Amino acid sequence: MLERLETLDAPTLATLAQRLGRERGLFERVFNVLQEGVLVVDADGEIAYANAAAHRLLGLKEADSAAPTLWRLVPGLHALLGPALANASSLTREIELSYPEPRAVRLYLVPFDSPGAAAAPAFTGDARRFAVVLTDLTRDKLDTDQRIESERVASIVLLAAGVAHELGNPLNSLTIQLQLVERRLRKLRGLDKKDAAGLADSLRVCQGEVARLDGIIANFLQAIRPRPPDLADTRLTDVLAEVLSFQERELADRGIQVEVTTAAGLPLVRADRDQVKQVFFNVIKNAAEAMPPGGHLRITARVDEQYLLLAFADTGSGIKPEHLARLFEPYHTTKPGGHGLGMMVVQRILREHGGQIVVESDSHRGTTVTLQFPLKQRRVRLLRS
């Protein structure tokens, strides 16, 4: 068209311009419906084109369209892509973006000039151009992490059946034998009172240790043999009140003040009442054990467009970052005598309810555990093919 520009009359030029405009609009619509981000950049990282997905992934604003550079949007890419741009070579990398929100992205860079083709620039001018394709892997990464966790738990389940059987039978025998010893001790005559008291104390210690081991096994089996939730319309604040009433004595003994604030008109949710009780019990118990005597536990219930949220904020010393990253791992605990299964059970139950758990911790402000239960109208999930 440019070669023939001087020989074309005005109507023909108008017709060609309209056709080019329609074709450009068509390609714009095609690129903007793609889920992958598509950019065109030069060797200096200057962005000549970005589709709608690229704007979303990189936080590129329409007002930035005046020749923004990729290095300004993602400074770390300069060192990564520089050699490939200089050598006009292709490159594939998986990267993490922190702005405008944390995302895992696969980046594919390819020059417009294919190998062996004539070295003609893709656009007018002498600048070499490159296509950059960004694929959002965030959801896939989350699914993979959850699958790995499920496989790890499944392997624990296989081991658990044998361990529970091997430990359960000896513990039953020990319990029976200790009961017999206790009865015989009561019948003995002429035994020195001091010796009798010592034997009785030793017996109680043995019985207590057997009960503790039995409790560890019970907690273990509860964690690895989950049952599907029996969902019914549930008012979570009523369940919370029951749990707090049950734990009232323990909290009072520790001098912990509990403050509950609930928004008006909280809706019912579909939940398993017994499993939710277990969740509340574990979270409140952890909060109580994290605080010194005289601590303050603030519980807040509110609702947003998708979830009913209950936040449990304590005034403890917080969780160290290295422990926070492993909070939901089985058997990871920092408490003497802890079994490290409580938070794993909480996370599993929340997931079975279609919700999630968020933990924020600060050494100066304590820890806040937020439980998110989906609202009834949001309990719709598209089955995967």
| pLDDT for position 236 | 94
β-strand partners of 136: 105
Distance, in Å, from the CA atom of 375 to the CA atom of 270, rounded to the nearest integer, reads: 8
Task: List the chain pLDDT tens, one digit each, 385 residues.
Answer: 666 777 777 888 888 888 888 888 888 888 888 889 999 998 888 898 899 999 988 888 776 545 688 888 888 888 888 888 888 888 888 888 877 788 888 899 888 864 443 444 444 445 688 999 999 888 777 666 666 666 666 666 666 656 666 676 677 778 887 888 888 777 776 666 777 777 777 788 788 778 777 776 776 666 556 678 888 999 999 999 999 988 888 899 899 999 999 988 899 999 999 889 989 998 999 899 889 899 999 999 999 888 899 999 999 888 877 777 777 776 656 665 555 567 888 888 888 888 889 888 887 788 999 999 998 765 444 344 3
Query: What is the signed CA dihedral for 330, 334, 339, 345, rounded to 10 degrees?
Result: -50
| pLDDT for position 372 | 93
Helix axes 273-290, 236-246, angle to 10 degrees: 50
Structure tokens at 44: 């200096």
Half-sphere exposure of 381 (CA within 13 A, CB side): 11
| pLDDT for position 256 | 93
| pLDDT for position 237 | 94
User: Who contacts 309 (Cβ-Cβ below 8 Å, separation ≥6)?
Assistant: 301, 302, 303, 370, 371, 372, 373
Give phi and psi for 147, each to the nearest 5: -65, -40
Cα 324 to Cα 140, 183, 317, distances in angstroms = 23, 48, 13
Distance, in Å, from the CA atom of 52 to the CA atom of 69, rounded to the nearest integer, reads: 17
Q: What is the pTM of this model?
A: 0.47
Query: What is the signed CA dihedral for 87, 90, 92, 93, rounded to 10 degrees?
Result: 10
| pLDDT for position 200 | 78
* Residue whose C-alpha is closest to residue 185's, from 200, 198, 175: 200
| pLDDT for position 330 | 65
SS3 265: coil
| pLDDT for position 300 | 95
Q: Which stretches of the chain are assigned E, i.e. beta strand? A: 37-42, 47-50, 91-97, 103-111, 129-136, 232-234, 257-262, 269-271, 296-303, 307-313, 356-362, 366-374
Structure tokens at 328: 């939901």
Distance, in Å, from the CA atom of 107 to the CA atom of 89, rounded to the nearest integer, reads: 14
Which single residue is written with the structure tokens 């909070």? 327
